[in-house]
Amino acid sequence: MNNEEEIRDREIIYRPIGVVRTEFTEQEQTPIQGIFNTAIGTIELLPEFEEGLTEIESFSHLILLYHFDRADGYSLLQRPFLDSENARGIFAIRHFKRPNPIGISIVRLLEVKGNIVRIQGVDILDGTPLLDIKPYVHQFDNREQVSSGWVDDQHLDEIADWNCTPKELRNRQRTHTGSQ
């Protein structure tokens, strides 16, 4: 498919394989990145996909792909949560308002019981449609000598210390700005 119009007009349809259950019901209260929190959630896989979980419990972490079903619209420039000063291109940040609202999270696998998977380090809204699960394989997924662009200049250690949500981050930035 080389024709730009063909690409633009092509429709791709995915069906959820399950749903993610968490304590988070509002985007403002959801952690910015799962690595900074220990929140526990569950994956409720549709029964017809349960067999696909065979051997998954041998992995410590999973990669989840999901649909940001509550994102409305998108903008090609957004101010990321970690840098409220500068607008960045949507493909240089992980904001949920994207042309194709697909999210990705790496979570710790705690337990598998039938079609229910307990996970930790979740940063996903309750009821989010799950598109796919992949095992995190350190030998394939870890990269050496990585540049993380503008994120390298942020104070991730501070963010990790206070396990931030978008609301907490804005409050912290206001307090920090007001005290200078």
Determine the structural domain holding residue 159 and report its residue range. 12-137+148-178
pLDDT band with cut points at 50, 70 and 90 for residue 176: low
What does the pLDDT look like over 107-156, one tens digit per residue?
Answer: 999 999 999 999 999 989 999 999 999 999 888 777 777 665 666 566 56
Length of the chain: 180
In-domain check, residue 36: yes
Is residue 56 domain-resident? yes
Higher pLDDT: 99 or 42? It is 42
pLDDT of residue 103: 93
Looking up residue 110, the CATH number of its domain turns out to be 2.40.30.70
| Residue 50, φ and ψ in degrees, nearest 5 | -55, -40
Domain contains 4: no
Quick check: is 2 in a domain? no
Taking the mean position of all CA atoms in its chain, how far away is CA 153? Answer: 21
Closest CA to 170 of 29, 46, 72, 25: 29
pLDDT attached to residue 1: 47
What is the rounded distance in angstroms from the CA atom of residue 100 to the CA atom of residue 92?
14
Give tens-digit pLDDT for 33-77: 666 678 899 999 999 999 999 999 999 999 999 999 998 899 899
Query: Locate tokens 């500068």: which residue?
Result: 86
CA distance 129 to 29: 19
Examine residue 35 and state whether it is found in any structural domain, yes or no. yes
Structurally, the chain folds into a number of domains equal to 1
Answer yes or no: is 97 within a domain. yes
pTM: 0.79
In a domain, 60, yes or no: yes
Within-domain flag for 1:
no
